[in-house]
Chains A and B, each alone.
Chain A
Amino acid sequence: MKHSRSQTKIHVHTLSCGKVYEHLCDNLDSKLDSEACRRIKAHIKGCKNCSALLDSLKKTVYLYKKYPAPELPEKSRKKLFAVIRLDKSKNRAAR
């Protein structure tokens, strides 16, 4: 459902930034099309502060997603299987 310019304006003023904030932080990429979501989207469109907050929250998450993680060291994998083999042989000896 599309909103007219006047309806959007009403939504901007009926929602507090605090409420929008709460919703933004819970559902950064929410694509839900509920009435609540439409009101949130309309608010963000007209509110510079909430728009900046949404953008910076998304970028924060994206930065951590893109943080390069090192490769699993081969020695770690080898060590694991060495411990497992030792564990197995101990179990056999105990039987």
Chain B
Amino acid sequence: MCILTMKILPDHHTDAALIAKVKNGDERAFTQLVKKYEQTVWGFAFKLCRDKQKAEESFQDTFINVFRKIDQFDSRSKFSTWLYTIVANNCLMHRRKRKLDGLLESFDEAPDVENSEVQKQLAAWDDSPIETMMNKELRERMDAAIQELPDEYKVVFVLRDLEDRTAEETAKILKLSVPAVKSRLRRSRIFLRHKLHDMMTA
């Protein structure tokens, strides 16, 4: 009966049961919660930071925050949305300390790259399977390209395209409007495409 119930219940119901136990000080429930979401948090943190050590710091900070602030979590919301919010805030906070705010403003105000892109004749990208093209040189180029994106853009690209969150959920996580999410995603995609273009057409 129990197993059947577990299978039919939507994910947020099983999360709610676990969270209720964690709120009551159940350490085993917290361990279960960490096990369930550790890959999500780790993967998201790594994709945002692109650095193992910083991703580890973010992983630690996120779950410590979850443990300390679990009472503030409203069980009517999706737990994963709350988790993504914490990781994003952690990563953005770490990086804001080192970055100049001017970068975001200049990216926001820059004319869309697309206007120039669509007007010129575009060379088609190599048709080889992507897996065979993934070498060290390409990875380094991809790392450099995504690191050039302002964090506020990168986090939208990672949530929408790599974590497959909807525009609405991404907007909720980042406290942005849906049109702002769409605009940042559009600019991020075209920026990254532009940065990889010469390697993919050579």
Contact = CB atoms under 8 A, between A and B. Distances in A.
Interface of A: 17-18, 20-22, 25-26, 28, 49-50, 52-53, 55-57, 59-70, 72-73, 76-77, 79-81, 83-84, 87-88
B91 interface: no
A64 to B, nearest CB: 6
Interface residues of B, number: 49
Nearest to B52: A70
Contacts of A65: 161-162
A64 B146 contact: yes
B118 A53 contact: yes
Nearest to B160: A61
B121 interface: yes
A9 to B, nearest CB: 20
A14 B190 CA distance: 24
Nearest to A85: B27
Contacts of A84: 27, 30, 63-64, 67
Nearest to B143: A67
Contacts of B121: 49
Contacts of A53: 117-118, 122
B42 interface: yes
B192 A64 contact: yes
Contacts of A83: 60, 64
